[in-house]
Amino acid sequence: MVFTRCAAADYDSFAKLGCDGWSWQDVLPYFLKMENNISPKFANSPLHKVGGPLTVSNHESCCTQAAKDFVQAGVELGYKEVDVMSGQIIGFGDFPCSVDRFGRRSSTARCYIHPAQTRRNLTVLCDSHVTKIDIKDKRVIGVRYLRNGKENYANVNKEAVVCGGAVNSPQILMLSGIGPKAHLGELGIACIADLPVGKNLQDHSAIQIKAKVRPGTDVLTLDKIAFQHNVIEATAFVQTGLETDIPWPDMQLHFTPVFEPFGVGVTSIHELNSPEMLPYLGYDITDEERMKIEGITIFPTLLHPRSVGEIRLRSSAPLDDPIIDYQYYSDPHDAKVMVEGIRLVKRVFETNSMAKYEARILDLKLPGSKHDAWSQENLEEFVRHFAWTLYHPIGTCKMGAANDQTAVLDPQLRVRGVKGLRVVDASIMPHLVSGNTNCPSIMIGERGADLIKRDHKNAKL
């Protein structure tokens, strides 16, 4: 996975919103605690650490010249070259990834759970589905779950910690009677705590801008790429200027030296909505032919969308999928930011640093459109048509200050109005961070663990 701590300003904003203990200075120790950075260039950096559970590397062994040229293109355009783990991320830089020296993914399962598996105070039950948290007199007393189709029950003596992610944590809470009273009432679920659970759903969306390049340059083709290669080799964080006085970047570029960064089968899914677009996007050829195309794909990513959605229950049945209503691009500002990202990609390809690739961006004109391909009207429509999720949902059990009516949790991640219940995952973020959400989610896990230990020590539970 690509790995960034995102912007220091993201966490400073959490703190300003009343989430005490979540400023950049507060969370940096947890980012450092998790890290085993094996990049020689960060060996002496105070912003990196060796010896943590999760190995982070910088593609040194396999990074293409094309990625280095992309970073130089940024410098040519007047941006700084940055370490995207430093918190000060506006600029262009390599993209670290959570991959070890053997090319294996440093997942949280491998780095945290496997080493702890023999502890006497830990039991891991796979293939188990939590269906409800039992609450009596506003205190959690147990957790119901299905295992191999059978109903099971775990007593809770101290507290339950929900970590189902931004889609399923709100689902579990709502199934248990914690959520918007009116919505729960519609489904016949008795409301124990009337809280805005499931609201504030935010996600990063992106759009692939593909270019074919001159044959024989240093890019990769899908038929030859190493299996473990993390194709997103470089990134950029910029301010489009559409919003003044923002403390963070509003646009991220993901750089891949590949025409089909996600594999032909996967990419096709995004195109299936509109078969008439296939020739325009250069997909009117076989998958085998597409795997051999030499190209570069850069995807602009909307970092701080104004469009906000929600998670709702479909029914009171715990195995029914919840309704995921993202409301992407419902606010017109979001498409405008994305268009600025597309225009930046064009400027990157036009730099001297990228000239040798002779990049030809595929035609972005929508079929039947009266507008030019690079007109604002066409590009905004193109964005609405082709933007896809980067799978970064957050915010559905947000934390906040005591007087914040939109918050579900207090800054110690405790569910308001219910004793013995916490949420610790990406759903707790008050708003999106400026970048990919895995590293911030692991930080939330580290900090959540500390908050729990502290409360146990102080016997607050």
Q: Is 2 in the site for ligand FAD (CB under 6 A)?
A: yes
Smallest gap from residue 270 Cβ to ligand FAD (A)? 13
Distance in Å, CB of 214 to ligand FAD, minimum: 29
Q: Smallest distance, Å, CB 284 to ligand FAD?
A: 27
Question: Residue 178 or 293: which CB sits closer to ligand FAD?
Answer: 178
Of the candidates 66, 436, 448, 452, which one interacts with ligand FAD according to CB under 6 A? 436
Binding residue (CB under 6 A) for ligand FAD from 209, 439, 443, 452: 439
Write the binding mask 386 to 425 for ligand FAD: x where contact by CB under 6 A, - elsewhere: -----xx--------------------------------x
Chain positions 156 to 215 lying near ligand FAD, rule: CB under 6 A, are: 163-166, 168, 172
Query: By three-state DSSP, how is residue 352 classified?
Result: helix
Rg (CA), the chain: 23
Nearest to 200 by CA among 411, 402, 434, 395: 395
> Shortest gap between Cβ of 355 and ligand FAD (angstroms)?
30
Query: Any idea what DSSP says for residue 309?
Result: B
The DSSP element (H or E) to which 235 belongs, if any, is: strand 234-238
Please identify which residue in 1, 28, 154, 191 interacts with ligand FAD, judged by CB under 6 A.
1
Q: How far is the CB of 389 from ligand FAD (least distance, A)?
A: 8
# of chain residues touching ligand FAD (CB under 6 A)? 20
**DSSP assignment letter at 4:** -
Active site residue 392: yes
Place of tokens 């963070």: 248
Structure tokens given for 195? 């809280």
Q: CA distances (Å), 101 to each of 55, 61, 96, 221, in order?
A: 8, 9, 13, 23
Q: Say how many C-beta atoms besides its own lie within 10 A of residue 182's C-beta.
A: 9
Compute the distance between CA of residue 46 and CA of residue 209 in angstroms, rounded to an integer. Answer: 36
Select from 11-19, 99-107, 251-259, 438-446 the region that touches ligand FAD (CB under 6 A). 438-446
Spatial separation of the C-alpha atoms in residues 39 and 56, rounded to whole Å: 8
Residue 37 vs 436, nearer CB to ligand FAD: 436
| Ranges within 108-167 binding ligand FAD (CB under 6 A) | 128-130, 163-166
Length in residues, the chain: 461
Q: Which of 438, 446, 447, 452 binds ligand FAD (CB under 6 A)?
A: 438
What would the 3-class secondary structure string for 149-217 be?
CEEEEEECCCCEEECCHHHHHHHHHHHCCEECHHHHHHCCCCCCEECCCCCCEECCEECCEEEECCCCC
Map 366-428 to HEC letters.
CCCCCCCCCCHHHHHHHHHHHCEECCCCECCCCECCCCCCCCCECCCCEECCCECEEECCHHH
Q: Where do the H-state alpha helices sit in 366-459?
A: 376-386, 438-457
Q: Which of 71, 184, 426, 443 binds ligand FAD (CB under 6 A)?
A: 426
437: contact with ligand FAD by CB under 6 A: yes
Q: Would you say 282 or 318 has its CB closer to ligand FAD? A: 318
Residues 326-365 that bind ligand FAD (CB under 6 A): none
- x/- map, 293-332, ligand FAD, by CB under 6 A: ----------------------------------------
Catalytic one among 59, 270, 304, 392?
392
DSSP-assigned beta bridge partners for residue 399: 409
Helical spans, DSSP H, in 85-142: 108, 114-116
Nearer to ligand FAD, 172 or 366 (CB): 172
Smallest gap from Cβ 442 to ligand FAD, in A, equals 8
CA distance 365 to 300: 17
Nearer to ligand FAD, 37 or 168 (CB): 168
Q: Indicate which residues carry an active-site annotation.
A: 392
Kindly list the residues in this chain that would bind ligand FAD in the complex (CB under 6 A): 1-2, 128-130, 163-166, 168, 172, 391-392, 425-426, 436-439, 441
